[in-house]
Structure 1
Amino acid sequence: MRTAAASRVQITDADFLKFRDFFYRKTGIHFDENKRYFVDKRLVERIAATGAEDFRSYFIGLRFEAGGSELQHLVNAMTVNETYFFREAYQFDCLVNDMLAEVVRRKKPGSRIRIWSIPSSTGEEPYSIAIYLLERWAQIDDYEVEILSSDIDTQVLAAAQRGVYSPRSVSQLPRPYLDKYFKRHGEYEWAISEDLVAAVDFSRVNLSEPADTRRFRDIDVVFCRNLLIYFDDLSRRVAAEAMYDALAPGGFVCLGHSESMSRITSLFGVRRFKDAMVYQKPLAGDSA
């Protein structure tokens, strides 16, 4: 419910453009005009929450805030997170049937395999990866698998680590997996096992910020699905280069079904496996 103070705040065209440019510089996310209602609504809510009188005073405070806490609140409000377990599961099939087979050819038994899921949203994707590996990859016990998952939104990261899900979130899970890895939480929700929560390393990362991505190296597979659709061409290239730098030679990237790395950069080669098309960082000495 909007407060009386919030209902008095107006976001002008000039305000929207100022905010859009600022938010883009900070996050790489670009809002088109068709997102105007959504952006204005969230902005007015944050202006009211901080007690600012109008957009101008709020925006001045936002730009010069030392700690960045209000910017994080704003990021949390502006990002959309909707997903479910086993979404676009054909890529998980490709992971266990083909990609990992190539990854382990370059590794010794007992060595580390790193998989990075970004954005994590509320955790459905990284936990789906963990379940797929446990249930469908015969070599899971032969390697040290590390699952990393990141998001720019601290609220969804907290929800992911809590690990409690609605019936809709788990509706695509085979019933034996639901019974094995979840328990009832209240009348309607499901809580994922503590072992799976402990198996995923969650962290806040802005894919457009080099300082955030620099520590991600020697990654074997990146799942970055349905994120780049919110970026413009420049931000997509920055994100693609960050993933390229994070990957080990020969590592793979999985994008959403409507996204194409080939339209962003020539850094990656295209691999067409039986279950899915993915993108690959060239091995040393190869070219994309």
Structure 2
Amino acid sequence: MTDPLIGFDEFHKFREFFYRKTGIQFEDSKRYFVDKRLEERMRATEASTFRSYFTLLRFQASGEELQTLTNLMTVNETYFFREEYQFKCLVQSILPEVAARKAPGETIRIWSIPSSSGEEPYSIALYLTEYWPELAQWDVELISSDINTDILYKAQRGVYSQRSVQNLPPHLLRAHFTPVGDGEYRISDALRQSVEFTRVNLAEPSETAAYRGIDVVFCRNLLIYFDDQSRREAAEALFDALAPGGFICLGHSESMSRISSLFRVRKFPEAIVYQKAPQ
């Protein structure tokens, strides 16, 4: 049996480095997954040893290799209308409350992080278009962010597999998507242009500081990849991003109450969400 390319101590040094940079903590059970991606990048960069690759990763001025590796480590699958009850909550309970606090002509800001390949923010845009009658009365700004630049490119392209769109009602698929061959569908230009995609590292305060006055945050199934400290720091960053009275929606297996005491629980008929106290 050949010796592993990456030793035990080297794996743990990398794991701590990646954690500091992204807030993502890999457990020992993910060792095989992590090693395979590191070895892939070692071959691509012609690094003969892990030490030489790790030096490149830490000290490359452009940070390009760290971004490339991060892209490999953060690929997540999703689909349209995942956990649809929260989109129903958005249009039936959350947005009416948000709109009631605003003056006519003010902007309603929604932030979806992570964007993944775009199904999440486009689901929000689609739900607003189809199921929120008051949409025409408001200027809605929909921003979606991810740490993965490859996945952001895919999101901006807006082309999806049959699996991604399988939960959409047929009439919505016909109205807002165009078949492009090989069982794929392209989302309409109107919906694609309704979302602004940005690269953001939630674990980096200098990047999240630009996001303020957000009325609703969708941050679903991201914090499960963080450890307790990173979750608390991420919760604080999201709290700072929210406007007073703003709401945050988490994944069904996540609970803000176990992460931070900054938010209060709101139990709407459609879903449980979390709110920053109004002023």
Q: TM-score range by the shorter chain?
A: over 0.9
For 1:35 and 1:57, the matched residues in 2 are separated by 23
CA contact (8 A) 2:37 2:72 kept: yes
Q: How much does 1:197 deviate?
A: 1.1
**Secondary structure class of the residue paired with 2:62:** coil
CA contact (8 A) 1:233 1:264 kept: yes
Correspondence for 1:130 among 114, 125, 130: 125
For 1:62 and 1:244, the matched residues in 2 are separated by 31
CA contact (8 A) 1:9 1:54 kept: no
CA contact (8 A) 2:147 2:201 kept: yes
* Distance verdict in 2 for CA 1:116–1:214, change over 3 Å: same
For 2:58 and 2:244, the matched residues in 1 are separated by 39
For 2:165 and 2:274, the matched residues in 1 are separated by 28
CA contact (8 A) 1:119 1:150 kept: yes
Q: How much does 1:8 deviate?
A: 8.1
* Distance verdict in 2 for CA 1:252–1:38, change over 3 Å: same
Partner of 1:105: 100
For 1:253 and 1:136, the matched residues in 2 are separated by 20
Aligned ranges 1:1-288 → 2 under 5 Å: 10-284=5-279
- Provide Cα deviations, 1:117-161, integer angstroms capped at 9, x if missing partner: 000000000000000001000100000001000000000000000
CA contact (8 A) 1:151 1:206 kept: yes
CA contact (8 A) 2:216 2:247 kept: yes
For 1:62 and 1:119, the matched residues in 2 are separated by 24
- The percentage of aligned residue pairs carrying the same residue is 64
Q: How much does 1:194 deviate?
A: 1.1
CA contact (8 A) 1:9 1:55 kept: no
Q: How much does 1:98 deviate?
A: 0.3
**Secondary structure class of the residue paired with 2:55:** helix
Q: How much does 1:9 deviate?
A: 6.1
Q: Which amino acid aligns with 1:195?
A: A
Q: How many equivalent residue pairs?
A: 278
Partner of 1:4: none
- Provide Cα deviations, 1:178-232, integer angstroms capped at 9, x if missing partner: 0111001113100001111110000000001011111111100000000000000
**Secondary structure class of the residue paired with 1:115:** strand
Q: How much does 1:61 deviate?
A: 1.3
TM-score, structure 2 as length reference: 0.98
For 1:216 and 1:283, the matched residues in 2 are separated by 18
- Provide Cα deviations, 1:16-51, integer angstroms capped at 9, x if missing partner: 101000000000000001111100111100111100
Unaligned residue ranges in structure 1 (runs of 5+): 1-6
TM-score, structure 1 as length reference: 0.95
For 1:118 and 1:65, the matched residues in 2 are separated by 27
